[in-house]
Copies of this chain bind each other. A is one copy, B any other.
Amino acid sequence: MTDTVKYVLDESRIPRAWYNLQADLPKPLPPVLHPGTKQPVGPDDLAPLFPMELILQEVTQEREVPIPEPVRDVYRQWRPSPLFRARRLEKVLQTPAHIYYKYEGVSPAGSHKPNTAVPQAFYNREAGVRKLVTETGAGQWGSSLAFAGALFGIDVQVFMVRVSYDQKPYRRALMETYGAKCVASPSNLTNAGRAILAQRPDHPGSLGIAISEAVEIAAQNDHIKYALGSVLNHVLLHQTIVGQEAIEQFAMTGDYPDVIVGCTGGGSNFAGLAFPFIGAQLRGGKKIDVIATEPTACPTLTRGRYAYDFGDTAHLTPLTKMHTLGSTFTPPGFHAGGLRYHGMAPLVSHLQELGLSRSLAYTQSRVFDAGVQFARAEGIVPAPEANHAVRGAIDEAIRCREEGVSRTILFNLSGHGHFDMQAYIDYFGGKLKDLAYDEAELASALAGLPSVAEPA
């Protein structure tokens, strides 16, 4: 038996609650601070942006947060997602490793993002919200919120980072097919956007800028709320169904992961897969080598500072303690647009500080080498973001071959690359450059970090 093996759960096994890692942490998260007072924010501070249910999920310490039935009903369309054993890839690599991947590209929008888009749209509809505004990098998040908005009758406006807006017209078309409005960011629709364009009319944009634009519109309009596709605790919480399903599926395999790999932009797909396993470890289970992989051109976890910073460029958000390259840092325009973020989810940063995970950075050409090798073996073309996880998994499998040991490697194939084929065209055409960030700009962005004393 050398063929790919699929592990499927019945839909009755879709988790009934999201798993909250905060309940098992050996040390709590540092508090989120108000940018003016530098004191911990309360729920009311966030109320202009989010419905109260999501704010409460942001801060809850309960281990389990029940998933509403209407959300589970929508999940049923594509969940539980399959877990695959990549036997064909193992054979190509001639590795004794067992390689597994959880495949989230089976969702209608093609990635893990609907796992949180659906509950976010649901809670907003329950709160009477008629319009959501958000940012998107590669477009995975924007199209997922567009999908969820269509289901729950909510208008969706998406600020799409300019470089991705230009690179990925098909992803824009997908958002429009779902009925959303998509705008290139920086735009002339907001003060934040106009200020950036005044300085640099051809600015390629960044997630930090797009967040500023979306937050600005939500903050100024009572009937409009904001939605974020990663970083925040409640977003990572919603993604934990991925890892919970994987734990159940591993019970069918006879294996258990020694290594878990996920790519990190804001951290949500990585968290979704890894947190339930890390929680099991913290409650006395097996120790796992958990690896976050990221681009060398936006090395938040590997080169960033663990410090209080803003989530956006215009400084409209609260301050969170996280690994950051500085909120003014603009990464070069590489193809994994979903990983072009200056910060990192506070929970993911916290884990690395606690020694519960580690991080590796890869160049663009090496992640596409891995993605093409994976596609030819397994038949699925990964998204550029997911190629970072594929690279990490393949490197671990090669290490197993070199060391002559068999380890069980699990990675999150967070999305397919159907809307990102321009990147593959560039790769095959020899046009995929290994872009580097500007060291002086990074130094300047880090020097500009706000001065904050962490509350005792």
Q: A residues bordering B, Cβ < 8 Å?
A: 1, 3-6, 8, 10-11, 70, 73-74, 76-77, 84, 88, 106, 108-110, 147, 150-151, 169-170, 173-174, 176-179, 372, 375-381, 416, 418-419, 421-422, 424-425, 428
Residues of the B chain whose Cβ atoms lie less than 8 Å from the Cβ of A174: 381, 418, 421, 424
A77 near B84: Cβ-Cβ < 8 Å: yes
A106 near B106: Cβ-Cβ < 8 Å: yes
A73 near B3: Cβ-Cβ < 8 Å: yes
Residues of the B chain whose Cβ atoms lie less than 8 Å from the Cβ of A418: 110, 170, 174, 416, 418-419
Copies of this chain in its oligomeric complex:
2
- Given A3-B70, A3-B74, A176-B428, list of 17 further CB < 8 A pairs? A4-B74, A4-B76, A5-B76, A6-B11, A8-B8, A77-B84, A88-B151, A108-B379, A108-B380, A109-B379, A170-B422, A170-B425, A173-B422, A173-B425, A177-B421, A178-B375, A418-B418
Within the assembled complex, what's the spacing in Å between the Cα atoms of A376 and B109?
12
Residues of the B chain whose Cβ atoms lie less than 8 Å from the Cβ of A10: 8
Closest B residue by C-beta to A79: B6
Closest B residue by C-beta to A110: B418
How near does chain B come to A72, taking the closest CB pair, in angstroms? 9
How near does chain B come to A101, taking the closest CB pair, in angstroms? 12
How near does chain B come to A10, taking the closest CB pair, in angstroms? 8
16 A-B interface contacts by CB (under 8 A): A4-B76, A8-B8, A77-B84, A77-B379, A108-B378, A108-B379, A108-B380, A110-B418, A147-B379, A150-B379, A170-B421, A170-B422, A170-B425, A173-B422, A174-B418, A178-B379
